[in-house]
């Protein structure tokens, strides 16, 4: 029995609604732009479930990126304006690259994009129209196919050589304003996720197709969050790992409505960086 198994009964928790994948015919798909005439925007529909989300603060040192699929880390930043794309790329990118190389003992880190989110009451999450809204469905950003394709897309001349070694896609997520009380991020312990829970789903762009995992409900899933995160804290999320030796490969996550959030809490602002992490074999 792991330390988490032994301690979970004593952890505080909230009961919250998480949006899983409703049963659907065929492979789920979502258009990232206006779909062709007669096509629905998405065939991915939510199936809400009430689940316990445990406060992982008191055992935060027990979580492992390679076991549970996520980790809470301290990461102060010098960035003054996360809404400045220029400052984020000039200041934040190199700092995160250095931090991940050291923390993950990686040979190389490449940040391939970032997303700023700012919750607006009643607003839809529309790509390319200002800051994105929190993602309120249980998902994983990559699959085995799309994880490898990220290497081919961003490092085409080196891809086949790099894919001979270990490749990870790691997201670094942090609040822009703290303490964050509105729409926190819930992360699922990968040791409780079955292979059949993950459903490959197409994400269709004008010039390419991506693939993510939607997630079916499983009462065995064990969820955690870290309430009142500050701006010097970040969550590392495992979105893909090429290793198939039993370590965590895909960590489901989602924003959720915390029922204990004060009504006057500032609306969530956050930023996530998506990175390719390389290890020589």
Bridge-partner residues for 51, per DSSP? 16
Q: Is the pLDDT of residue 104 over 80?
A: yes
pLDDT at 129: 67
pLDDT digits (tens, 9 = 90+) for 164-217: 999 999 999 999 999 999 999 999 999 999 999 999 999 998 888 899 999 999
pLDDT digits (tens, 9 = 90+) for 147-158: 999 999 999 999
Give the domain extent around 84.
14-279
Residue 1 lies in a domain: no
The dihedrals phi and psi of 280, each to the nearest 5 degrees, come to -70, 145
CA distance 71 to 62: 9
Residue 162 lies in a domain: yes
Residue 129 lies in a domain: yes
pLDDT digits (tens, 9 = 90+) for 250-274: 999 999 999 999 999 999 999 999 9
Q: What is the CATH number of the domain that holds 187?
A: 2.60.120
Mean pLDDT of the chain: 95
Residue 2 lies in a domain: no
Query: Structural domain tally of the chain?
Result: 1
pTM to 2 decimal places: 0.94
CA distance 248 to 240: 9
CA distance 247 to 238: 11
Percent of the chain with pLDDT over 90: 86
In terms of pLDDT, which residue wins out, 10 or 134?
134
Confidence of residue 128 (pLDDT cuts 50, 70, 90): low
């Amino acid at each position: 029995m792991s330390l988490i198994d032994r301690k979970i009964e004593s952890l505080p928790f909230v009961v919250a609604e998480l949006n899983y994948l409703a049963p659907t015919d065929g492979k789920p798909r979502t258009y990232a732009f206006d779909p062709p005439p007669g096509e629905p925007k998405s065939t991915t529909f939510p199936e809400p479930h009430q689940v316990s989300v445990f406060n992982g603060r008191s055992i935060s040192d027990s979580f492992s990126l390679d076991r549970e699929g996520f980790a809470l880390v301290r990461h102060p930043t010098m960035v003054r304006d996360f809404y400045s794309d220029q400052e984020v790329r000039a200041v934040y990118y190199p700092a995160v690259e250095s931090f991940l190389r050291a923390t993950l003992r990686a040979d190389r880190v490449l940040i391939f994009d970032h997303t700023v989110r700012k919750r607006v009451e009643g607003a839809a999450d529309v790509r390319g129209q200002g800051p994105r809204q929190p993602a309120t469905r249980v998902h994983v950003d990559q699959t085995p196919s799309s994880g490898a394709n990220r290497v081919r897309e961003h490092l085409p001349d080196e891809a086949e050589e790099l894919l001979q070694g270990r490749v990870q896609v790691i997201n670094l997520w942090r609040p822009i304003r703290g303490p964050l009380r509105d729409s926190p991020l819930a992360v699922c312990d990968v040791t409780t996720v079955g292979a059949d829970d993950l459903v490959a789903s197409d994400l269709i762009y004008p010039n390419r197709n991506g693939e993510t995992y939607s997630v079916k409900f499983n009462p065995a899933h064990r969820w955690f969050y870290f309430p009142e995160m500050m701006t010097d804290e970040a969550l590392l999320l495992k979105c893909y790992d090429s290793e198939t030796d039993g370590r965590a490969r895909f960590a489901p996550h989602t924003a959720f409505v915390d029922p204990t959030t004060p009504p006057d809490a500032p609306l969530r602002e956050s930023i996530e960086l998506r990175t390719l992490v390389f290890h020589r074999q």
